[in-house]
Structure 1
Amino acid sequence: MTQESRPGTLLVIGSGLKVYREYLIAPIRRRALAAGLETVLVNNLKPTWQREYFDEIAVANVFDTEALNAAAREVAARRRIVGLMCWDEPLVLDAGLLAAEFGVPGLSVPGVRGCRDKQRTRAELTAAGLHQPGFALTTTVAEAKAAAARIGYPVVLKPRAMGASIGVVFAADEAELETAFRIALSASEVDPGPYRASAIVEGYAPGPEISVDGAVHKGEYLPMFVARKHSSDEPYFEEVGHVVDAADPLMQDRELMDTLARAHRALGIEDGITHSEIRLTDRGPLVIEINGRLGGDLIPFLGRTATGIEPGAVLFDVATGQRPDTRPTRRAVAGIRFGYPERDCLLKKVTVPAEAPGLVAAAPMAEPGTVLRLPPGGYLARHSFVVCEAADTRTCSERLDAAAALVELDTEPIGPPRADAPFAMPAGLLDVDD
C-alpha cells in the first residue's frame, strides 16, 4: 500500500487529563470515524482511558523536543498525516512546528511563535498599532528595575512563556519589584523550551479580565464564546473561576471583535483554535495574550454547556482544513468554581457533592497526600471544582456558591517552604492519570 492510498491519520500531541480533556477527545474521535480517518496519540505516559479513542498510541517524553519530534516523524513515515492537534500549552510550539513540517493546517510558524512567546506577542501587536502596555524582556533584577522605571509603576512581571497565570506578579513600586522578579524568573526556569530563564516587565492595565475562545480558518477569526474571569487579589492573579453566558453582549461588541481579528492577523495565525485573554480598559480592549490552543480550566466545557458549540468538533474542522460552524445552539449560562485551601496544607481527603441545584460536574483535583501551597510558595493549589448552569448569571453564581459550600475538606497544616526551594509545577497540572 502506498502512502497516498493509506487511510488519513489525525495526529494528537498529548492527551491531557481525563477530567479536563475527555469531553474534547470523544467528539473528535466520532468525527474522525465518520470521515474515515484514524487517530494516533503521542503521549508522555502509558495509555489508560485514552485507548478507547485512538487507533495507536506512541509513548514518548513529549516535553523533550527531540524525543517528541522523533516519535511524531516515525508515525508520519508510516502514515498519511492529514491533521495535527495539540491543546497542552508546553507542547504548542513543537506541535505547531510539526504541523508546518508535515504540511497540514496549523497556526503557521510565525503564528505559533507569536502565541507561545509573550515578548514576541507584545512586539507584534505594538507594531500593528494595537493598544498595548509598555514592556521589556529582562533576565536580571537590574534590567527589571530599569525597565519598570522607564515604563512607570505599577507593573506586572511574568515568565516569558508559561500558562495559567503561574509566576505572574504585581509590583506597585520598586520596593516590591525585586521579590516579584525572582518569583517570575523562578517560574520561567521550569519551561524546557527556548524561552526559559527570562521575565517580562509590563505596565499594569486595570480593568475586568475576560477570555475569548475562537477558531481561525485560513486567517479568518471566528469567535465562539466569552468567559468572564474571576481572579484572586493582587499581587497574584490566580484564576478561581470563570462564567460563560451564551448571550454575553461582548460577543456583539464590534470594537472587541475587531481588536481580536486584527491581533490574530498581526501574529500570522492561519488555522486552529486560540484562547485570547483581554483586559477591558478605559482605552478599549487590551490583548494580554493569545494562546495557540483551546482554553484551560474547563472553559471550553463551559462554552459547550452554555452555547451548544462543540469545541472538539470545531477543532477537528480547523485541523482538517474545513471552515467550522460556530453558531450557538443553546442559550444558557455555565460557570466553574475552583476550591483552594485557606493556607498551605497537606490534603488528607476531599469530597465533592453528587447533587446540587444546577450542578453539571464536580471532581477532586488532587489526591490525598498532595501538598497544596498558595503563592508564592506554589500555584494552582486547587483541591476540587464544581460546574453549574442556569438561565442567568446571577442564578449561576448563587448555584456555584451553594455547590462549592458542599465540598468537604480534610487537611493538615504544614510549614512554609524552604527559602531556597526550587519552583515546582503544581500538582495535577500535567497528565498523571496512570
Structure 2
Amino acid sequence: MNSSVAHEGVLLVIGIGSQKDRDSRPYREPLLAAAAERFPVWLFDSDEPTWQKDYTVGATALDCYDPQALVKEARRLAELHPIVGVLCPDEGTLAAASHVTEELGFPGLSVESARACRDKKISRSVLTEAGIAQPGFTTARNWQEALAAAERFGFPVVLKPRTLGSSQGVVMVKAPEEIEGAFHDTSRAAYPGVHIPDDYVVEQYLSGPEVSIDGVVFDGVYTPAFVARKQIGPEPFFTEMGHVVTAEDEILTDAAVRSMLQDAHTALGVTHGTTHSEVKLTPQGPVIVEINGRPGGDILPYLGRLASGVDACLAAVDAITGRPPTIRPTRSGSAGIRFFAPTEPCRVREVRIGDTSTVPGLVRAAPLVSPGAELLCPPQDTVARFGYVIVEGASYEECAERLELADGLITLDGEPLRTTA
C-alpha cells in the first residue's frame, strides 16, 4: 500500500461487478473511474477484480449480499487503512452495503432508507403517507388475490415483485383472462442473492410517457442532474431498450417535479447520495414510479456527461464523502443509447457490427456478450442484450433520428435454445 493511501484513506466501493453474466465494464467503469479520480479505491465484490484493477489499490472477494460479512470485512479494512466513505451502485447489493454505511457512520443510505427504496410495497406506503401522488396499489400472494385487486382498481394493472429491479417480473395485465399467466411470470422472477417476499405488488397502470431522473442529495437537499427519455419494448413487459438525454430538458426546471422529488426523498429518509427516480408524466400530472437508491444503470451517467457535461459519477462520490457536489452544465446537446436484444432464446455464436460510417454522430458501437453466452427473452430475462450504440446530436429529435439509423447496425448470429415455460 503506498503512502498516499495511508495518508488519504480509501473509498470503499461495493458491488461494481455484480451484473449477473453480463460484462460489467460498460455499465460501471465511469463510476469506478470517478471514484478513483477522487480517492484511492478499495473494492469489495463477489469475484476477483479483472478490468477493475486499473482503478483500485486493493480488493476483497466476498459475498456482497451478506451484510454481516460486509461489515466484518469493512471493519478489518478500517483497521489497516482509514475509510473515507462507502459507495454502492448495484441494486442487488445495495441493501447489504447500507449496513456498512450505517455501522461505520458515513453519509449515505441508512439501512431503513435502503430498504424503503428497495421494497416497492414500503416505498408506495411511505410516499402515500407523505401525500405524494401514487397509483392505487395492494399486494397479492396468488393470482386469485391479484384478480380481485385488479377488478377493484379496473384494468389495466401492473404486477411487480417487491424487491427486484431492471423491470424483472414487471408485467402489464389488460384483461381478467391474462391475470393467471401474468402472475406466474411475476412470481417466478428472481435475481441471485436477492430475497423476494411472497406477496407481489398489484397497482393501477399509469398512462403517459416515462422518464428517469438522476439526482444528487446532499444534506437532505435534492438536485436533479439529468433526465432520460425512455424507449420501452413491446407490451406486456417493460423492457428498457434505450434512452435519450438532453441537457436542457424542461423537466429539470419543472417546479412540480422538483418539489415532488424533494418531498419523496425526504419521506424516504435519503440525506446523502445519488438516486435514480422513475416518473410517469400522466394526464393528471407527474407520478413517481419508484426511487432507486443508486446511480442510474444502462450507461446513463455517461450519456448525461456527453449531453450536458455534468458528471453525476463525481457528484455521487462527493455526496457520500462530505464534499458538496457540483451540478453545473457545461454542454448543451443530446446523447442517446439503443440496446439490441434477442428475439428468441439463443446461444451466441457471433455479434457483428456493421458499417459505422452510415450513422452520423456515432460515439460508440459495441457488443455486450461473448460467443457462447446464453440469452433469454422476457419474461425470463429483461436485460439480455447483445450490443448497444451511443450517438450524440444537437437535440432530442436529432438523437432519436440517428438511433433509428443505427437500428440494424449490430446483428446477432445465435443458436436457438430450448427453454421451459
TM-score higher than 0.5: yes
Task: For residues 194-249 of structure 1, give each alpha carbon's deviation from its aligned partner in whole angstroms, at most 9, with x where no partner exists.
Answer: 44433111111111000000000011001000000110122101001000000111
> What is the CA distance between 1:192 and its match in structure 2?
3.1
Structure 2 equivalent of residue 19 of structure 1: 26
In 2, the alpha carbon distance for the partners of 1:75 and 1:152 equals 54
Aligned-partner residue type, residue 233 of structure 1: P
1:92 to 67, 89, 94: 94
> What is the CA distance between 1:370 and its match in structure 2?
2.2
> What is the CA distance between 1:75 and its match in structure 2?
1.6
> What is the CA distance between 1:47 and its match in structure 2?
1.5
> What is the CA distance between 1:79 and its match in structure 2?
2.8
In 2, the alpha carbon distance for the partners of 1:209 and 1:123 equals 21
The range that moved more, 191-200 or 14-23, is 191-200
CA contact (8 A) 1:225 1:303 kept: yes
Task: For residues 395-421 of structure 1, give each alpha carbon's deviation from its aligned partner in whole angstroms, at most 9, with x where no partner exists.
Answer: 212221223322232223344x223xx
Structure 2 equivalent of residue 137 of structure 1: 139
Task: For residues 138-166 of structure 1, give each alpha carbon's deviation from its aligned partner in whole angstroms, at most 9, with x where no partner exists.
Answer: 22223322322333221100110111111
CA contact (8 A) 2:67 2:100 kept: no
| Residue 211, structure 1, aligned to residue 212, structure 2 | yes
Structure 2 equivalent of residue 367 of structure 1: 370
The range that moved more, 337-346 or 152-161, is 337-346
In 2, the alpha carbon distance for the partners of 1:74 and 1:195 equals 30
Structure 1 equivalent of residue 54 of structure 2: 52
Q: Counterparts of 1:267-278 in structure 2 under 5 Å?
A: 267-278=268-279
Aligned-partner residue type, residue 84 of structure 1: V
Task: For residues 271-295 of structure 1, give each alpha carbon's deviation from its aligned partner in whole angstroms, at most 9, with x where no partner exists.
Answer: 0000000100111111000000000
> What is the CA distance between 1:319 and its match in structure 2?
1.2
Task: For residues 369-407 of structure 1, give each alpha carbon's deviation from its aligned partner in whole angstroms, at most 9, with x where no partner exists.
Answer: 223222124322211000000011222122212233222
In 2, the alpha carbon distance for the partners of 1:385 and 1:252 equals 30
The range that moved more, 72-81 or 229-238, is 72-81
| Residue 263, structure 1, aligned to residue 226, structure 2 | no
The range that moved more, 326-335 or 191-200, is 191-200
With over 3 angstroms needed to count, the CA separation of the structure-2 counterparts of 1:141 and 1:191, relative to structure 1, is farther
Aligned-partner residue type, residue 64 of structure 2: V
Structure 1 equivalent of residue 412 of structure 2: 409
CA contact (8 A) 2:164 2:196 kept: no
Structure 2 equivalent of residue 79 of structure 1: 81
CA contact (8 A) 1:44 1:60 kept: yes
> What is the CA distance between 1:251 and its match in structure 2?
1.1
> What is the CA distance between 1:323 and its match in structure 2?
1.4
| Identity %, equivalent residues | 44
Number of residue equivalences: 408
Task: For residues 42-85 of structure 1, give each alpha carbon's deviation from its aligned partner in whole angstroms, at most 9, with x where no partner exists.
Answer: 01111122112111101112133443333333223333222100
> What is the CA distance between 1:39 and its match in structure 2?
1.9
CA RMSD of aligned residues (A): 1.7
1:381 to 384, 406, 410: 384
TM-score (norm: length of structure 1):
0.90
Structure 1 equivalent of residue 284 of structure 2: 283
> What is the CA distance between 1:109 and its match in structure 2?
3.1
Task: For residues 88-122 of structure 1, give each alpha carbon's deviation from its aligned partner in whole angstroms, at most 9, with x where no partner exists.
Answer: 10011111221011001102333212111111110
In 1, the alpha carbon distance for the partners of 2:35 and 2:84 equals 14
Structure 2 equivalent of residue 350 of structure 1: 351
Aligned-partner residue type, residue 54 of structure 2: E
